Amino acid sequence: MQQTLTTEYTLKTGNSYIDSLTGLLNCGFFQTSMDHELQRCKQEGLKLTLALVDVDGFSNFNRENGSLAGDCLLKEIAEVIEKHVRQVDLVSRYSGDVYALLMIDTEQPKVFSITHLIKQAVENNTRGQVTVSIGIASFPIDAVDSLPLLNKAFKALKKAKLKGKNKTYLFENKTEIEHHGQPAILIVDDDPRKIKLIEAMLLPQQYSVYKAENGEIALSIVKKIDIDLILLDIMMPVINGYEVCRRLKHNRETRLIPVVMITTLDDSKSKVLGIEAGADDFISMPLNKSELIARTQSLIQLKRSNDSLADVENILFSLANTVEARDGYTLGHVERVSDLAVKLGGRIDLSPKSLEALRFGGILHDIGKIVIPDNILIKQGKLRGDEFLVMQTHAERGWEICLPLKKNLGEALEVIRYHHEKLDGSGYPRGLKGDEIPIVAQVMTVVDIYDALSTDRPYRKALAMQHAFSILRDMAANGKLNPAIVEEMIVLVTRDKNILCTSFPELPQQRFSGTFLSR
């Protein structure tokens, strides 16, 4: 099939259909092929799925490692994708660091299996240094023509990037997902009689009811539909209810969905296992209709409240991206700082809660700069004393902006407020000393300074890695930074750079003779 299509395209256009860098199909041929395949699927009643694969942080990778290393990375990812698709599927380098994958007559679970393998392989091949985000749209569910299908796949890809990257996201058909305001409930049970019984109790309450006969189908549904509550059986084949619940609660996109386990098991051991898996409530068989409806209404109300907070959270992340976009020199800064802080926190055995705080804090730590005027924020050269005082306000202002989400952000608020504090009391905004500074803020301070030293800024060029290390060690020796954290970060960064060098050549870094640190 591909041979026929490529021959036709070459005859019509007189151009090569192969991308010279990756060896994949080029964008022009891919679009022609997609039109051809859509027509065939319409005639034969087949399904078609389009997946767009984007390399996370590729511009930063290119800048830090050089264009030659970037080309090597693009080739390697192309090989990974080709290895994990069928021969009949079409793979293209759609644009710079975006690949397009067209899968013919493939069921949704298989699509997710393929994209999961691609993500995993990219991460494994680069030893965790590079990840990809994937957006998916399908014919005929999402669109019936090529341009709308592409647009919806790109929308899904954008959502995957906003969700924290290294994600696969299915296009959401809003008319389907909003349910005209009706809450959506998913019933998961391998006994169709029990499903019918629960559905009969719920339908008079004007709920939109979805059904899944096993855990795999349930996990697939929640990727497509905005579910408000899951009623989950425990004893099921393949994946039991405990494992389904555990996966839902460990996934940031689904962890806020309330899960009620419905079971005939009434012993304390089963409930303990459910609680450990993250279940929000339990209802035993035989069902009491009044109890089921009361608990359902209460948990759906809780879910809607959490959704409102999540919307505020997304707005904050968008603001953080807006701040970064104002200064071309700091593009990618929050992503690098967040990633490195989490890795460093893991290396010094911080709790999962603290690691989450570092991830959020890394993304939001400079959000207060949204109030800093451009003539100060992106000034070429050293700030005057009065200008630096204005710049210093960003830590406190960022904390104030994020304070309404105190329950959600937790320790991340401490990262935002105190990431410029120094152990000797010379930092800002509070002049805290020693153990007064939370450990998560101490980690962020070291990472933030290192990133500022090792990247180009409007007031000076980037330092070589060893020069940056030397400055950090001097600051630790002078009592400003935690020496143990500095040394652990140096080991981590050196190890990661060595890993990258095994696959990608590193271009020489420019040295810096100035004294400016992170603003």
- Residue 505 is predicted with a pLDDT of 33
Calpha distance 371→448 (Å, rounded): 20
Calpha distance 83→424 (Å, rounded): 54
Calpha distance 204→484 (Å, rounded): 61
First and final CA of the chain: distance in angstroms? 57
Q: What DSSP character marks residue 279?
A: -
Calpha distance 68→497 (Å, rounded): 16
- Residue 8 is predicted with a pLDDT of 45
Q: pTM of this prediction?
A: 0.45
Reported as half-sphere exposure (CB side, CA atoms, 13 A), residue 12 has a value of 11
Kindly report, residue by residue over 264-273, the tens digit of the pLDDT: 766 677 778 8
Closest CA to 165 of 135, 138, 208: 135
Q: Judging by DSSP bridges, how do beta strands 48-55 and 132-139 pair with one another? A: antiparallel
Q: Could you give phi then psi for residue 429, rounded to 5 degrees?
A: -95, -10
Question: Would you state the structure tokens that stand for residue 91, as one six-digit string?
Answer: 């793979």
Cβ(402)–Cβ(345) below 8 Å: no
Residue found by looking up tokens 């890809």 in the block: 157
Residue ranges of the chain whose pLDDT lies below 70: 1-16, 108-109, 162-164, 172-181, 265-267, 304-331, 457-460, 496-519
- Residue 496 is predicted with a pLDDT of 67
Question: Would you state the structure tokens that stand for residue 206, as one six-digit string?
Answer: 């004007």
Task: Report all structural domains of the chain as residue ranges with CATH numbers, in order of start.
Answer: 2-171 (3.30.70.270), 176-305 (3.40.50.2300), 326-501 (1.10.3210.10)
Burial 243-282 (b: 16+ CB within 10 A, else e): ebbbbbbeeebbeebbbbbbbeeeeeebbebbeebebbbb
- Residue 64 is predicted with a pLDDT of 80
